[in-house]
């Protein structure tokens, strides 16, 4: 009897070890069934928050430590898109308030539309300015941050929740928006030779003049002049770059 008991205990211990190993692997890599369950819960949450709309999952991610995320998108409202996380299969949290109701996606989309419009105007009215691509901006040369407010550290961020009435869901960008909310334009201008502060002041003046003549009164200009040659290392290049930081339009002569 003792031998049988020992075998049963050994078998149970073996099964327990296997289960622990499976859970450990699942915690690191996730599993497709849990991911599918999390996607279903995300869709259910979206349809509960926004009844009458059809949703689909645009992407799902993570799975580590039993935490799964999914991004859900409305089929009829481009700006109704938000992330939902599910952990331990039973607990779900959504970010609809921040991303949809506080108009983060609306603000970002309008900014992208405005940036594309500004890039076309600069190519037409200031062709002498050769713009470099904005890092992480999908090949665009202009970044326009709407509802942008500087902070005490000299940086800043977009705060669309402070200007909700100006960001109707799914509405297109209108130039008149720049008269209602603060904004920041970011771009890099490629420069022959070593740029100077005087060169930067001239570029800032040109940008402000062109945009305001086209009824696009940007509040802050964040511009960098980047040399195309005359350096032998990346560090030397960085030392030659001339930057304005977030400079108020009122301070540009």
Encoded tokens for 46: 């979206």
Whether the full predicted model's pTM is greater than 0.85, yes or no, is no
Encoded tokens for 203: 């570029």
Say whether pLDDT at 24 is over 50. no
R_g over Cα of the chain: 26
The per-residue pLDDT for range 235-245, each reduced to its tens digit, is 998 889 999 99
CA distance 81 to 77: 8
User: Of 187, 103, 189, 188, which Cα lies nearest the Cα of 146?
Assistant: 103
The per-residue pLDDT for range 143-180, each reduced to its tens digit, is 999 999 998 665 789 999 999 999 999 999 999 999 99
- Residue 30's pLDDT band (cuts 50, 70, 90): low
The per-residue pLDDT for range 44-68, each reduced to its tens digit, is 999 999 999 999 999 988 656 578 9
Ranges of beta strands (E only) in the chain are 55-62, 67-74, 81-87, 91-94, 130-131, 143-146, 148-150, 156-158, 183-191, 220-227, 242-248
The answer to whether the CB of 85 falls within 8 A of the CB of 68 is yes
Q: What percent of the chain has pLDDT over 70?
A: 84
User: Of 115, 102, 117, which Cα lies nearest the Cα of 146?
Assistant: 115
Q: Please, how many CA atoms are within 13 Å of residue 243, restricted to the half-sphere of its CB?
A: 9
User: Of 227, 228, 225, 224, which Cα lies nearest the Cα of 245?
Assistant: 224
Rounded to an integer, the average pLDDT of 34-39 is: 89
**What pLDDT is stored for residue 153 in this prediction?**
60
Say whether pLDDT at 80 is over 80. yes
**What pLDDT is stored for residue 1 in this prediction?**
52
CA distance 70 to 47: 14
DSSP 8-class letter at 233: S
Cβ neighbour number for residue 138 with a 10 Å cutoff: 7
The per-residue pLDDT for range 190-242, each reduced to its tens digit, is 999 999 999 999 999 999 999 999 999 999 999 999 999 888 898 998 889 99
> What's the distance, CA 63 to chain centroid?
22
- Residue 90's pLDDT band (cuts 50, 70, 90): confident
CA distance 188 to 137: 13
């Amino acid at each position: 009897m003792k031998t049988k008991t020992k075998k049963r205990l050994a078998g149970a211990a073996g099964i327990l070890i296997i289960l622990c190993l499976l859970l450990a692997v699942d915690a690191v890599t996730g599993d497709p069934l849990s991911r599918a369950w999390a996607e279903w819960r995300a869709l259910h949450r979206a349809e509960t928050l926004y009844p009458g709309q059809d949703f689909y999952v645009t992407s799902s991610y993570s799975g580590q430590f039993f935490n799964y995320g999914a991004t859900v998108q409305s089929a009829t409202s481009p700006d109704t898109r938000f992330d939902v996380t599910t952990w331990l299969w039973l607990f779900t949290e959504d970010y609809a308030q921040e991303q949809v109701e506080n108009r983060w996606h609306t603000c970002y989309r309008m900014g992208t539309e405005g940036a594309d419009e500004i890039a076309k105007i600069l190519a037409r009215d200031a062709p002498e300015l050769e713009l470099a691509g904005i890092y992480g901006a999908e090949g665009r040369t202009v970044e326009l941050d709407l509802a942008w407010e500087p902070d005490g550290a000299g940086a800043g961020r977009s705060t669309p929740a402070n200007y909700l009435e100006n960001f109707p869901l799914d509405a297109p960008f209108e130039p008149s928006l720049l008269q209602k909310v603060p904004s920041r334009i970011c771009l890099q201008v490629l420069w022959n030779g070593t740029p100077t502060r005087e060169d930067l002041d001239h570029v800032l003046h040109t940008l402000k003049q062109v945009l305001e003549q086209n009824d696009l009164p940007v509040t802050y200009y964040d511009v960098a002049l980047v040399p195309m040659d005359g350096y032998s290392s990346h560090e030397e290049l960085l030392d030659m770059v001339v930057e304005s930081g977030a400079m108020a339009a009122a301070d540009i002569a």
